[in-house]
Chains A and B, each alone.
Chain A
Amino acid sequence: MSTNITLLIVMGILFAVGIYLLLERSLTRVLLGIVVLGNGVNLLILSAGGRRGEAPLYKSALDAQEYSDPLPQALILTAIVITFAVTAFMLGIIYRSWVISRADVVADDDEDLRVSQQSTFDFEEDSPVPEDTTEFEGDESVPAGNTKEAGPSA
């Protein structure tokens, strides 16, 4: 099958721009990156379908080879609408992030940073445990006065 250089180059540029924007800290630009990347992917799927052909509307006289490949088209159609939904969702996130923190940036995750900087000492695991020699500490039914400081010898 033939390879359409124009489409490929445009696709490559869309990918490059999309990735570049995606790696930004500004949420808006990240979203734009996703949109551009989505266009690039759609273009890739489209060119994978081969040469341009007749619109895939059935004509009894037409050989199947003559149509523009319908399968990539169905895939792209879904992709376009999904991208719309994702974009809307991301817009909601951007707005929310702005309302809450007045920031339009992908902030570093404090929790992650804290994890990597934590001490290996864990109170639950590493603190010394007092020796206890009864299960009935503070139990009223147990006669008082039996326990005192441990003696020094056996």
Chain B
Amino acid sequence: MLLVLIALFAVAGIAPFIFRVLGRSTFYVLAAVPALAFVWLVANFSSFTGTDQSIASGGPNAPPSELYSWIGPLNAHLDFRMDALSAVLCLLVLGVGALVLFYCARYFKNEDPHTGAFGAQLLAFAASMFGLVTADDMLLLFIFWELTTILSFLLIGFNRTRMSARRSALTALMVTTFGGLTMLAGLIMLGHAAGTYRISEIMAMAPELTALGTYIDVAIALVLIGAISKSALVPFHFWLPGAMAAPTPVSAYLHAAAMVKAGIYLVARLAPGFDQTAFWQPMLLWVGLATMLIGGWRALRQHDLKLLLAYGTVSQLGFLILILGMGTPNAYLAGLAMMLAHGFFKATLFLIVGIIDHKSGTRDIHQLSGLYKSSPLLFVVAAIAAASMAGFPPVFGFVAKEAVFESLLEHARGNGATGVVLLIGVVIGAMMTFAYSARFLWGGFAAKAGMKTTTFPKVPLLFLTPLLVLTAATVVFAWIPQVLEGAIAPYIGLFGPAEDPIHLGLWHGFTPALGLSILTMVIGALLFLGRKRIFAFQSRVPPVFDAERDYKFLITILDNLAIWLTGRTQRGSLSFYLVVILTVALVLPATTAILLNTPAPGNFIAFDHPAQLVIGLIMVVGAIGAVQANRRFLAVLMVSVSGYGMAAIFALQGAPDLAVTQLLVETIVLVAFVLALRALPVELWAKNPTGHRLGRALIGIGFGASMIYIAATSMASRVADPISLAYPELAYTGGAGKNIVNVTLVDMRAWDTFGEITVLAAAATGVASLIFVRGRGDKRLRVAAVPSGSVDHGSEAIGGKNPSRAGLKVARTFAASARDSWLVAGHTLAPERRSITFEVVTRLLFHTILLASVYLLLAGHNTPGGGFAGGLLAGLALTIRYLAGGRVELAEATPVSPGTLMGTGLGLAALTAAVPLFFGAQMFTSAAIEFTWPLFGEHKFVTSTIFDIGVYLVVVGLVIDVLRSLGSEIDDRSEGRSPTDTHDMVSDAETGVGR
């Protein structure tokens, strides 16, 4: 059976491709798959029914099963089992499925859009139903259950240009998913109690489970809610009439064999073990009765044939659930027979409506007339199907209904008033069913007074074939019902012997059931004849119970709540979000620290070194100065003060690596700030941009204070020795390096560092993209292409706004003699932008610094330094060169694009991660290679140095990207005017104030 399932899904998967070749004839190919499976099913039927149905899968003489382990820890398995119940359901799923697909080949046209997707979805729908009824694992069943939900959503919404289709699809999805999730909760409760999710095992241990009492009662009730929503029972029934927005073949399948039958199946599946639990009978009986009556009542007033049928299905589903809810063996027999009968006639009726719609262009009773003459064969088929629906002899629907009446009478005898009420209710429902069946036949085919005969082309036989097959089943099984009874019987056997077993048959003699049937037909006929009066009556009474209205009301409340909540929390103000986050971050840990009796902070020392006090004071002054400063660069400088202070603190604390890195970063950041912000106005704000200063100050101070408290507490709470006590030894023996921090970065915690340089590369690319917008701007500027003295023309001169005339003259002379320039591209700069001293110093320093950076990189393994510090120093060298020689100089200094640099860097790092794997070691394992070179003496090379070179390259790339983007590119854009000139372009722009 797994093979069947795979075949169904696989063909569904390739269906769109077949459609490209064969067009709508592909539906025949698709139909062949379930048809073949149907043949397989029938051929092996006795092997499914001839076994002991009560034995759990895997046991001796159990029905055939295929068990595969799937997610062990979750107890989820790919278990399939084909017992009598599954097989009976499969008859419908595969048989009707094949016929509906066959029908589609004539229903659709070759030029219809998306038929490929449609065919695939419909076949996948059949496959999911097949999986659902054969799954022997509750979680697997749930998965197929939800698959049918999703596929029905797609199929109902197939006419995506119609709002009604989209909306109905969404309603169906919401309602059935709600039910599905409720069911999942019930299934998990059940599986948890049983210790297994295998359905057959759970059924075998049902007596022990029901002994658990309320727990299982609730679990079963939750599962039933899922079934009720899926089978469109009150109060969830409204999604099914809406679902008729689907193409008619889908409706036929949905109503007759799939989706709604899943709920019926689930009830039937659990019935043998759990039909005596507390909520079972009350839920099913009353929900079923209410659904049957409401559906019938509504069906009576519909003038759209399809909608009439849809409400008819609602009514019939209620009927079916009610029968299964009675809980007697006879009732289960009657229920399954009724389900089959319903499958046969309901599919036929929908397909008929499809043909009528297809050929006449309407389904409206008020617009159809005289079809019985135009298409007599269609009329005969319709008459038989409608008779089956109405319970009119001699067709299978009558046989099933007789059995239902028999079991209802039996139930009424044993259950007093309840039984009688149910009996009366069902008889009324059956009368309505008779009336709307008649109404369907009359509405679709009768010649109505005062209406001209509807134009109706001849219906091709191929189009009719599926209907004929189904009709044949309806007729034939009325005369040989024992075939179907034989198929159902093994399942009924699970409920023990009936006191007075009934059998399916056309004639049982003059029984009370026959009397009820005749009564039903007579009153039903009267109801049909008095249809105008009933219609008028229905229009007068307002609907007592309108679930669709309630559903809309509920959704509106949800909408309102969502908007209200969103409006309260998502205000669009970043500061608001931050205040919320920070307040939580402030209150929560502080409260916890106090409540949890953490040790009081203690063991205070004022400082490690008196200099800390001085540096700390400077840092505080810098930080507070940054708050006070209104001029943009002053604020930046103030922050820098506290940053440089950090470097000093690091140095004092015994962290030379940190001190070096902080110093370099601080410098480059300062340059970056100046470069980026030069286009912005000098003042930070024209008037103080935001209020709430006191509030912000409170949050800030509160946060600072609570951080002090938390830090002090956590330091006082330390009981264990730090893990890093082992680091020195590890670094020296394992990492072959003396600089413990560096070895930590490139060896012991190399994964961290690898992640970090990836972030650096991403950030660098981000900066470049933000400024260049299109691409990374890798096209290189060459000095030969740039005329002398052209770059940065019009920008502020070095040495103030009005440089001395003499100075400018010297600069011009200097610029003219391009030959002996100190820098490669120095002469391209505008004369007033040049500084000879700077160029000379740069010339002298650049290579020295670069060499120093390489030294830092290579020596970093043993002495302070490493890839980060080295890369930053190299970046600083390039910064100097850019500042002295302008953007052409920078371009000349960096022949390799930063993207390439960072790519190479990441590549090298990845290489040191991967290569050790080939030597059977873990990722990032380093090795020390010792060698002797003449002249250079003995050397030790540690492979993690290669990783460090990668870090170096990435950092250099990052700095270059910053310089090129925030420096060169902004230069280029503000060429010919002072960068701050842009300020004048928006004369009335009040910076710092919201737009």
Q: Name A's B-contacting residues (CB within 8 A).
A: 1-26, 28-29, 32, 35-36, 39-40, 42-44, 46-58, 60, 62, 64-65, 67-74, 76-78, 80-89, 91-96, 98-99, 101-113, 115-118, 120, 122, 124-127, 129-137, 139, 141-148, 150-151, 153-154
Q: Which of B705, B715, B729, B740 has the most CB of A within 10 A?
A: B740
A122 contacts across to B, CB distance below 8 A: 559
Decide: B605 and A20 in contact? CB cutoff 8 A. Answer: no
B167 contacts across to A, CB distance below 8 A: 124-125, 129
Known: A25-B994, A81-B661. A57 touches B862 (CB 8 A): yes
Decide: B639 and A32 in contact? CB cutoff 8 A. Answer: yes
The dominant DSSP class at the A interface is: helix
B359 contacts across to A, CB distance below 8 A: 142-143
Pick the contact of A52 from B559, B654, B771 — CB < 8 Å?
B654
Known: A43-B649, A153-B532. A82 touches B756 (CB 8 A): yes
Pick the contact of A110 from B303, B572, B696, B729 — CB < 8 Å?
B572
- Give the CA-CA distance A18 to B578 in the complex, in Å: 13
* Nearest chain A CB to B939 CB, angstrom units: 18
Interface contacts beyond A32-B636, A137-B361, A143-B457: sample of 17 additional A-B pairs, CB < 8 Å, sorted by A: A3-B602, A11-B707, A11-B711, A23-B690, A50-B722, A57-B862, A57-B864, A58-B740, A72-B724, A88-B672, A88-B763, A88-B767, A92-B771, A111-B572, A116-B571, A136-B361, A154-B365
Known: A96-B770, A135-B159, A145-B455. A23 touches B575 (CB 8 A): yes
Decide: A150 and B364 in contact? CB cutoff 8 A. Answer: yes
Known: A1-B718, A58-B731, A89-B770. A105 touches B740 (CB 8 A): no
B767 contacts across to A, CB distance below 8 A: 88-89, 91-92
* Nearest chain B CB to A59 CB, angstrom units: 8
Residue of B nearest to A101 (CB): B995
* 19 pairs from A and B in contact (CB 8 Å cutoff): A2-B604, A3-B715, A20-B700, A23-B692, A25-B575, A35-B669, A43-B646, A47-B715, A48-B715, A49-B722, A57-B738, A62-B728, A78-B745, A89-B767, A96-B771, A106-B574, A108-B994, A132-B164, A134-B362
* Nearest chain B CB to A128 CB, angstrom units: 10
Decide: A146 and B573 in contact? CB cutoff 8 A. Answer: no
A68 contacts across to B, CB distance below 8 A: 653-655
* Nearest chain A CB to B658 CB, angstrom units: 6
Known: A23-B579, A56-B741. A94 touches B571 (CB 8 A): no
Decide: B760 and A81 in contact? CB cutoff 8 A. Answer: yes
Whether B642 is near chain A, meaning CB under 8 Å from some CB there, is yes
Decide: B455 and A25 in contact? CB cutoff 8 A. Answer: no
Residue of B nearest to A67 (CB): B728
- Give the CA-CA distance A65 to B571 in the complex, in Å: 52
Interface stretch (choices B504-512, B617-625, B928-936) = B617-625
- Give the CA-CA distance A86 to B705 in the complex, in Å: 26
Known: A57-B740, A109-B572, A151-B366. A6 touches B606 (CB 8 A): yes
Known: A26-B684, A32-B626. A120 touches B563 (CB 8 A): yes
Inter-chain residue pair count (beta carbon < 8 A): 433
Residue of B nearest to A86 (CB): B763
- Give the CA-CA distance A99 to B712 in the complex, in Å: 45
B676 contacts across to A, CB distance below 8 A: 91-92, 94-95
B689 contacts across to A, CB distance below 8 A: 24-26, 105
Pick the contact of A35 from B603, B643, B658, B690 — CB < 8 Å?
B643
B724 contacts across to A, CB distance below 8 A: 69-72
Known: A21-B626, A92-B771. A77 touches B726 (CB 8 A): no
Whether B727 is near chain A, meaning CB under 8 Å from some CB there, is yes
Interface stretch (choices B119-127, B481-489, B608-616) = B608-616
- Give the CA-CA distance A139 to B729 in the complex, in Å: 84
- Give the CA-CA distance A46 to B640 in the complex, in Å: 19
Pick the contact of B619 from A10, A60, A76, A85 — CB < 8 Å?
A10
Pick the contact of A24 from B455, B570, B673, B690 — CB < 8 Å?
B690
* Nearest chain B CB to A64 CB, angstrom units: 4
B607 contacts across to A, CB distance below 8 A: 4-7
* Nearest chain A CB to B677 CB, angstrom units: 7
* Nearest chain A CB to B494 CB, angstrom units: 43
Q: Mark B701-721, 1 if CB is under 8 A from A, else 0.
A: 101110110011011101000
Pick the contact of A142 from B361, B679, B696, B985 — CB < 8 Å?
B361
Residue of B nearest to A71 (CB): B724
Decide: A29 and B684 in contact? CB cutoff 8 A. Answer: yes
A9 contacts across to B, CB distance below 8 A: 616, 708
Pick the contact of B360 from A53, A62, A118, A143 — CB < 8 Å?
A143
Whether B907 is near chain A, meaning CB under 8 Å from some CB there, is no
B986 contacts across to A, CB distance below 8 A: 102
Whether B555 is near chain A, meaning CB under 8 Å from some CB there, is yes
Decide: B567 and A69 in contact? CB cutoff 8 A. Answer: no
- Give the CA-CA distance A31 to B700 in the complex, in Å: 16
- Give the CA-CA distance A98 to B167 in the complex, in Å: 44
- Give the CA-CA distance A21 to B707 in the complex, in Å: 17
Decide: A143 and B361 in contact? CB cutoff 8 A. Answer: yes
Decide: B164 and A154 in contact? CB cutoff 8 A. Answer: no
B626 contacts across to A, CB distance below 8 A: 17, 21, 32, 36
- Give the CA-CA distance A46 to B705 in the complex, in Å: 18
Whether B411 is near chain A, meaning CB under 8 Å from some CB there, is no
- Give the CA-CA distance A86 to B697 in the complex, in Å: 25
Decide: A85 and B715 in contact? CB cutoff 8 A. Answer: no
* Nearest chain B CB to A112 CB, angstrom units: 3
- Give the CA-CA distance A75 to B652 in the complex, in Å: 18
A64 contacts across to B, CB distance below 8 A: 725-729
Whether B269 is near chain A, meaning CB under 8 Å from some CB there, is no
Decide: B707 and A12 in contact? CB cutoff 8 A. Answer: yes
- Give the CA-CA distance A7 to B707 in the complex, in Å: 12
* Nearest chain A CB to B233 CB, angstrom units: 24
Whether B635 is near chain A, meaning CB under 8 Å from some CB there, is yes
Decide: A70 and B728 in contact? CB cutoff 8 A. Answer: yes
- Give the CA-CA distance A89 to B363 in the complex, in Å: 64
Whether B503 is near chain A, meaning CB under 8 Å from some CB there, is no
- Give the CA-CA distance A32 to B741 in the complex, in Å: 28
Interface stretch (choices B68-76, B419-427, B958-966) = B958-966
Decide: B763 and A89 in contact? CB cutoff 8 A. Answer: yes
Decide: A107 and B603 in contact? CB cutoff 8 A. Answer: no
B556 contacts across to A, CB distance below 8 A: 120, 126
Residue of B nearest to A154 (CB): B535
B881 contacts across to A, CB distance below 8 A: none
Whether B560 is near chain A, meaning CB under 8 Å from some CB there, is yes
Decide: B571 and A112 in contact? CB cutoff 8 A. Answer: yes
Q: Which of A18, A23, A64, A99 has the most CB of B within 10 A?
A: A23
B763 contacts across to A, CB distance below 8 A: 85-86, 88-89
Pick the contact of B958 from A46, A78, A85, A150 — CB < 8 Å?
A85
B656 contacts across to A, CB distance below 8 A: 55, 57
Whether B372 is near chain A, meaning CB under 8 Å from some CB there, is no
Q: Which of A9, A102, A117, A124 has the most CB of B within 10 A?
A: A102
Whether B601 is near chain A, meaning CB under 8 Å from some CB there, is yes
Decide: B708 and A11 in contact? CB cutoff 8 A. Answer: yes
B680 contacts across to A, CB distance below 8 A: 28, 94, 98, 104
Decide: B163 and A129 in contact? CB cutoff 8 A. Answer: yes
Residue of B nearest to A119 (CB): B563
- Give the CA-CA distance A99 to B966 in the complex, in Å: 13
Decide: B740 and A56 in contact? CB cutoff 8 A. Answer: yes
- Give the CA-CA distance A29 to B132 in the complex, in Å: 60
A46 contacts across to B, CB distance below 8 A: 649-650, 653, 655, 658
Whether B685 is near chain A, meaning CB under 8 Å from some CB there, is yes
B582 contacts across to A, CB distance below 8 A: 19, 23
- Give the CA-CA distance A45 to B864 in the complex, in Å: 20
Decide: A80 and B367 in contact? CB cutoff 8 A. Answer: no
Residue of A nearest to B620 (CB): A13
Known: A26-B992, A142-B361, A154-B303. A95 touches B970 (CB 8 A): yes
